């Protein structure tokens, strides 16, 4: 699996609160049973109108980078992991917001997409900075758990030790679970003895 | 310090704790459908893994299915392939599957409880955010992503950090024109669309104690719409009576033993929650939403406000522009083009009873398209056996076949661009019900008024 250590990039700024997973990837693109091709569908209805014509001057136009800076409560709504797949497939390595929906956060972490949760104040500063200077290069250091933005300063973000190690070393949850089937069998046996199902 | 109901169930399911990390949590029930499971099965195949406990997983197809002509092959090729893939994956792995047309088929969150698959005090997951529904039975139930579906299939476990906990207490008596949907829309309008992010909610108080299981499911279903990981109601006699006699539920002496165990599933009096919210039932009115998240709601006789909790000014303006609404306008009287009654939120028998009773001898408005979509085959057959189907057809309505339908418009049931739809579903997000569709969330009584008048009502008849 891929690893994350330091991410340095310009940012794509989308200062909208409550960006739900239906915005990130509309439901009609979830019919495929494959795992590929979601990057092209990212924010599709922002980028194309009803008949598939590109929307000129949409919120993403002219922006480039592998860090997405969004408003509060990013990734709310549907549990579709396709949202994390779409962001990852489109090249994003991190999303910065003042809060993430729980399911999206897990999906992101399981796909080597780093959710960087910062305070509302810091997010406001970053948003303002990027508004004035869109070429600003952000630096996210997972080891140090810091994000630094010239003009907005540095912020230390939280992530639990287990998840951090997974991301830095390229481990996945399923490998962890499979490595300790013994514990699972022991738990099942203890429950059967207790008469529960 | 006492334990919450949530603590008790969580603790009983910890396989092991990872220091400075999550818990390994055992999963009792895993529900799957055709949208979020295929990539998980493919990944298992690639890794040479099988399904660890196939008797704990149950499958139905719902998101991609048409709501007409279900006896014919699904016309949309991609949808048909997704459903066929589910049939193949479940057959290859010995998983119980309710295919289209099977008496057990329907929306995953309607079917789970209806078939007695979901009991009390369990951990229940599904690759769908509305898994929160099953908290109505006193379960830790939450939505997961496809990587997690793969983990549960392979190991029957998940790695989860224990969330914080909130309690929402609603005391008093609801007015006769107020439905469970109005209760949860009221709560979300006060707490905001991210008001409970990072929390698991327990619903407590007189209102939930007196609520039917269908009502509790409607409420718990929408917990996710305020960001909660899930929501639960402590199980009681109402819960046990609902479960008794259902297809996969324990029987006889076993059921008696279960009831004894389930009766102890309560929050201790001295337990402490991270957050506590109190609401007065008498303040709750029939609700509608006016914006593009479920927190943007007002009473039917209310006006569109200047702001919403958890929504900055520009996001708020963007939402109103999308809806074609303005601050200060009354919601009552607004023109409605479509009405959708259904979904895992309000697609149960009680919802169709309420809708039919509210229609009461009136006819469908000519200029409104109405989709009545039962949540399951069983709901559909009860609609017929109770005579609701005949009464509604005589009033100009058509009853369709079960599925998720216009809630997320993955099938042909799409609201056209710019049209207004009163929906008993759960999300009014931009484009959710079709490109450019404008959704107004409401309960079945408001939906009935909209269906017969073509307008948002200022009041609804009492049930």
Contacts of B39 in chain A (CB under 8 A): 33-35, 81
Interface test with A, best of B428, B431, B436 (most A CBs within 10 A): B431
Check CB contact under 8 Å for B194 and A173.
Answer: no
Give the residue-averaged pLDDT of A23-30: 96
CB A167, CB A139: distance < 8 Å: no
Contacts of A45 in chain B (CB under 8 A): 430-431, 435
CA distances from B148 to A50, A109, A175, B23, B151 (A): 33, 11, 12, 14, 5
Q: What is the DSSP letter of B442?
A: B
The full set of domains in chain B, from first to last, is 5-160 (3.30.499.10), 164-283 (3.40.1060.10), 288-453 (3.30.499.10)
pLDDT tens digits for range B295-334: 999 999 999 999 999 899 999 999 999 999 999 999 999 9
Check CB contact under 8 Å for B36 and A80.
Answer: yes
- Does the beta carbon of A127 lie under 8 angstroms from any beta carbon of chain B? no
Check CB contact under 8 Å for A110 and B163.
Answer: no
For A179, which residue in chain B has the nearest alpha carbon? Answer: B155
Nearest to B207 by CA among B283, B294, B319, B126: B283
- Does the beta carbon of A196 lie under 8 angstroms from any beta carbon of chain B? yes
> Hey, what are B237's tokens?
């006699």
pLDDT tens digits for range B74-98: 999 999 999 999 999 999 999 999 9
B38–chain A nearest CA distance, Å: 5
- Does the beta carbon of A50 lie under 8 angstroms from any beta carbon of chain B? yes
Task: For chain B, give the percent of residues with pLDDT over 90.
Answer: 98
Query: Hunting for tokens 């398209």 — which residue is that?
Result: B369
pLDDT tens digits for range B127-142: 999 999 999 999 999 9
CB B234, CB B267: distance < 8 Å: yes
Contacts of A36 in chain B (CB under 8 A): none
Q: At what angle do helices B349-359 and B444-453 cross, to 10 degrees?
A: 40
Query: Hunting for tokens 């439905």 — which residue is that?
Result: B179
The CATH number of the structural domain formed by A6-160 is 3.20.19.10
CB under 8 Å to A48, separation ≥6 — which residues?
A: A54, A55
> Hey, what are B25's tokens?
């949590």
pLDDT band with cut points at 50, 70 and 90 for residue B20: confident
Distance CA A1, CA B284 (A): 51
ipTM over 0.90: yes
B447–chain A nearest CA distance, Å: 23
Contacts of B312 in chain A (CB under 8 A): 17, 71-72
Q: What angle do CA B14, A76, B409 make, to 5 degrees?
A: 110
Q: What angle do CA B249, B252, B253 make, to 5 degrees?
A: 110
Per-residue confidence (pLDDT) for residue A194, from 0 to 100: 55
Contacts of B48 in chain A (CB under 8 A): none
Check CB contact under 8 Å for A73 and B42.
Answer: no
Distance CA A44, CA A60 (A): 11
* DSSP of B153-200: HHHSEEEEPPPEEEEEEEES---TT--HHHHHHHHHHHH-TTTTTTEE
- Could you state, in order of their start, the residue ranges of all structural domains in chain A? 6-160
Checking if the pLDDT of A196 tops 60, the result is no
- Does the beta carbon of A73 lie under 8 angstroms from any beta carbon of chain B? yes
For A16, which residue in chain B has the nearest alpha carbon? Answer: B315
């Amino acid at each position: 699996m891929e690893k994350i250590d330091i991410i340095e990039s310009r940012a794509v700024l989308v200062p909208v609160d409550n960006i739900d997973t239906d915005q990130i990837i509309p439901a009609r693109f979830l019919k495929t049973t494959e795992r590929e091709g979601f990057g092209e569908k990212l924010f599709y209805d922002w980028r194309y109108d009803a008949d598939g014509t590109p929307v000129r001057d949409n919120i993403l136009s002219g922006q480039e980078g592998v860090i997405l800076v969004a408003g509060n409560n990013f990734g709310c709504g549907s549990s579709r992991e396709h949202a994390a797949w779409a962001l990852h497939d489109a090249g994003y390595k991190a999303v910065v917001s003042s809060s993430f929906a729980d399911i999206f956060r897990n999906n992101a972490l399981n796909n080597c997409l780093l959710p960087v949760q910062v305070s509302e104040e810091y997010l406001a500063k970053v948003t303002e900075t990027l508004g004035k200077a869109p070429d600003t290069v952000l630096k996210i250091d997972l080891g140090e758990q810091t994000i630094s933005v010239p003009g907005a300063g540095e912020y230390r973000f939280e992530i639990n030790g287990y998840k951090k190690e997974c991301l830095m070393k390229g481990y996945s949850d399923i490998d962890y679970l499979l490595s300790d089937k013994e514990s699972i069998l022991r738990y099942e046996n203890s429950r059967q003895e207790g008469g529960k199902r | 310090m006492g334990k919450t109901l949530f603590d008790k169930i969580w603790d009983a399911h910890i396989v092991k704790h990872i220091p400075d990390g999550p818990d390994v949590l055992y999963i009792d029930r895993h529900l799957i459908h055709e949208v979020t499971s295929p990539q998980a099965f493919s990944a298992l195949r690639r890794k040479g893994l099988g399904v660890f406990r196939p008797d704990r997983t149950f499958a139905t197809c719902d998101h991609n299915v048409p709501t007409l002509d279900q006896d014919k092959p699904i016309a949309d090729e991609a949808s048909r392939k997704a459903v066929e893939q589910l049939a193949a994956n479940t057959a290859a792995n010995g998983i119980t599957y309710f295919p289209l047309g099977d008496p057990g088929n329907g929306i995953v969150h309607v079917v789970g409880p209806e078939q007695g698959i979901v009991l009390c005090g369990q951990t229940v997951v599904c690759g769908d955010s509305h898994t929160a529904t099953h908290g109505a039975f006193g379960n830790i139930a939450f939505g997961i992503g496809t990587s997690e579906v793969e983990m549960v299939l392979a190991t029957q476990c998940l790695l989860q950090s224990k969330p914080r906990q909130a309690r929402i207490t609603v005391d008093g008596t609801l007015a006769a024109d107020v439905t469970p949907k109005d209760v949860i829309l009221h709560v979300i309008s006060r707490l905001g669309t991210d008001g409970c992010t990072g929390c698991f909610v327990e619903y407590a108080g007189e209102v939930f104690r007196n609520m039917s299981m269908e009502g509790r499911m409607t409420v718990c279903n929408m917990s996710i719409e305020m960001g909660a990981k899930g929501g639960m109601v402590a199980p009681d006699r109402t819960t046990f009576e609902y479960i008794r006699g259902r297809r996969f539920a324990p029987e006889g002496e076993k059921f008696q033993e279960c009831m004894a165990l389930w009766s102890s599933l309560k929050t201790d009096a001295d337990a402490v929650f991270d957050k506590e919210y109190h609401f007065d039932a008498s303040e709750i009115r029939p609700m509608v939403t006016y914006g593009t998240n479920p927190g943007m709601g007002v009473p039917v006789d209310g006006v569109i406000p200047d702001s919403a909790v958890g929504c900055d000014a520009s996001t708020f303006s963007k939402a109103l522009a999308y809806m074609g609404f303005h601050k200060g306008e009354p919601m009552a009287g607004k023109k409605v083009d479509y009405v959708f009654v259904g979904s895992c939120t309000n697609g149960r028998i009680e919802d169709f009873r309420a809708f039919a009773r509210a229609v009461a001898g009136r006819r469908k408005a000519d200029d409104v398209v109405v989709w009545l979509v039962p949540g399951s085959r069983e709901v559909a057959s009860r609609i017929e056996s109770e005579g609701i189907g005949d009464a509604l057809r005589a009033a100009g309505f058509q009853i369709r076949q079960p599925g998720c339908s216009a809630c997320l418009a993955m099938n042909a049931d799409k609201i056209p661009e710019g049209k207004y739809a009163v929906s008993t579903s759960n999300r009014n997000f931009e484009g959710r019900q079709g490109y450019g569709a404008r959704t107004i969330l409401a309960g079945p009584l408001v939906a009935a008024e909209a269906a017969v008048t073509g307008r948002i009502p200022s009041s609804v008849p009492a049930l």
